[in-house]
Homo-oligomer: A and B are copies of this chain.
Amino acid sequence: MYSLTVRDHVMIAHTLPDPFFGPAQGMHGATLVIEATWRREQLGPHAVVMDIGEASRQLAEVLDPLRYANLDESPVFAGRLSTTEAVAGHVAQSLAERAGEDIAGVGVVVREHPDAWVAHDVDLRA
């Protein structure tokens, strides 16, 4: 299996309005560093997983609505919690929808601070 990963980031604000989240219930924010990975069984005719410029564009297209955003006002998270896991799920699903048919899977890591990160992986085989 081969894979290509590109990295980008967004700087967001949000609340997590549930007592479960303790001090993170109020308005706060994060720099979310996103690593997006595309997997493929065999390389294509140019000996790459996919065009790296296209990979970066697809990731940017998904992230643009989140840049400098207050996630409490984002339609993406309307009616649900914008946890880091939810962001990872949204980005991975959005990239999976855009993936070419040779792509076996898409994975997303979202780093929220030096000591914590989450991931979501979508298997596109089957």
Question: In the complex, how many angstroms separate the beta carbon of A73 from the nearest chain B beta carbon?
Answer: 8
Assembly stoichiometry (copies) = 6
- The tally of residues in A whose CB lies under 8 Å from a CB in B reads 55
Q: Is the CB of B1 within 8 A of A13?
A: no
Docked Cα-Cα span, A22 to B46, in Å, equals 12
Which residues of the partner chain B approach A61 to less than 8 Å between Cβ atoms?
none
Chain A 96-126: CB-based contact to B (< 8 A → 1; otherwise 0): 0000000000000000111111111100000
The verdict on A58 contacting chain B, using a C-beta distance below 8 Å, is: no
Docked Cα-Cα span, A69 to B28, in Å, equals 5
20 contacts between A and B (CB under 8 A): A1-B121, A2-B121, A3-B118, A3-B121, A4-B85, A4-B118, A5-B117, A5-B118, A9-B114, A11-B24, A11-B29, A11-B30, A13-B27, A18-B46, A26-B68, A26-B70, A31-B113, A43-B85, A47-B80, A49-B118
